A and B are shown apart, each in its own frame.
Chain A
Amino acid sequence: MQQQFEVIDHYLMIRLPEEIDHRSSSEISRRADHMILDREVSDVVFDFSDTKFMDSSGIGVLAGRHRKISCFGGKVYVIHADERIRRILRMSGLTDLVEIME
């Protein structure tokens, strides 16, 4: 999988893969949670630069990470999401939970 995970300050930056589906999403969540527990992460940034496809599995990844970090005051950010991804996030009510940048 080509996505990257990196902690900068207290931000966990996740560069998402080309396709976010059932298969890739469980791996993303698993690795993200590992780093959230392990490192001093308060906020998570999902970078959609490379993403060409996302189904409803991706909604679970974002909502799940929001649930994990929001009780400690953390926030979830979305960057470089195209119009289609934004539409999917809006339809799912995620725009109330995560901050969409740009």
Chain B
Amino acid sequence: MENEIRMEMAALPENEGFARIAVAAFLTPLNPTVEEICDVKTAVSEAVTNAVIHAYDGQGGRIRISCRLEGDLLHMEIEDFGKGIEDVKQAMEPLFTTRADLERSGMGFAFMEAFMDGLEVESTPGKGTKVIMEKKLGNEPWVSCGE
């Protein structure tokens, strides 16, 4: 199946839930498992929340989300135009956070990595951040009968 969506939204906490639901709805024609939907929703939530909290320091801005289905492969990009990340490698380490004051746990990138099959982060300080993720859906193979 080939399909594609693009959305742009204000970087507000109110839109985090919407982004999760929109991406989940985009996947439904593929009949994903509950587990797969949950994995993708978690990854969307982490990336969008990061844009809201870190990229724009809670002051608002734009978030762009694009999803593409190529067969059973979901390709997703979540992009902001905020402050960017100085040291991406350090930012991706589990438990690393610059906002302990907001009780952030530093597990966002770790969850994206664990629940998706591929994660790449492109960031330029002062320009913004793009999180690129992939996930293969429908991994539960049908057991063929009578073989």
Residues of B within 8 A of A93 (CB): 95
In the complex, are the beta carbons of B45 and A21 less than 8 A apart?
A: yes
The smallest beta-carbon distance between A65 and chain B, in angstroms, is 9
Residues from 37 to 79 in B contacting A, C-beta threshold 8 Å:
38, 41-42, 45-46, 49, 52-53
Q: Determine whether the beta carbon of B105 is less than 8 Å from that of A92.
A: yes
Contact A21 B16 (CB under 8 A): yes
Q: How far is the CB of B38 from chain A (nearest CB, A)?
A: 6
Task: Give the number of chain A interface residues (Cβ < 8 Å).
Answer: 20
> Which residues of chain A have C-beta atoms less than 8 A from B38's C-beta?
53, 84
Q: How many residues of B contact A (CB 8 A)?
A: 26
Q: Tell me which residues across on chain A come within 8 A of B103, comparing CB atoms.
A: 25, 29, 60-61, 63-64
Give CA–CA (A99, B20) in the complex, Å. Answer: 30
- Is B111 within 8 A of A56, CB to CB? yes
Q: Is the interface of A mostly helix, strand, loop or mixed?
A: helix
Would you call B108 an interface residue if the criterion is a C-beta within 8 Å of the partner chain's C-beta atoms? yes
**When A and B form their complex, what is the total count of cross-chain residue pairs whose Cβ atoms lie within 8 Å?**
63
Whether A101 is near chain B, meaning CB under 8 Å from some CB there, is: no
Contact B41 A53 (CB under 8 A): yes
Interface residues in A24-39 (C-beta closer than 8 Å to B) = 25, 29
Query: With contacts A55-B108, A60-B105 known, what are 8 further pairs, Cβ within 8 A?
Result: A22-B45, A22-B53, A23-B13, A23-B16, A53-B38, A55-B46, A61-B103, A84-B38
A and B contact pairs by CB, cutoff 8 A, 26 listed:
A19-B17, A22-B13, A22-B49, A25-B103, A29-B103, A53-B38, A53-B41, A53-B42, A53-B45, A55-B46, A55-B49, A55-B108, A55-B111, A56-B105, A56-B106, A56-B108, A56-B111, A57-B104, A59-B105, A60-B105, A61-B103, A63-B103, A64-B103, A91-B111, A92-B94, A92-B105
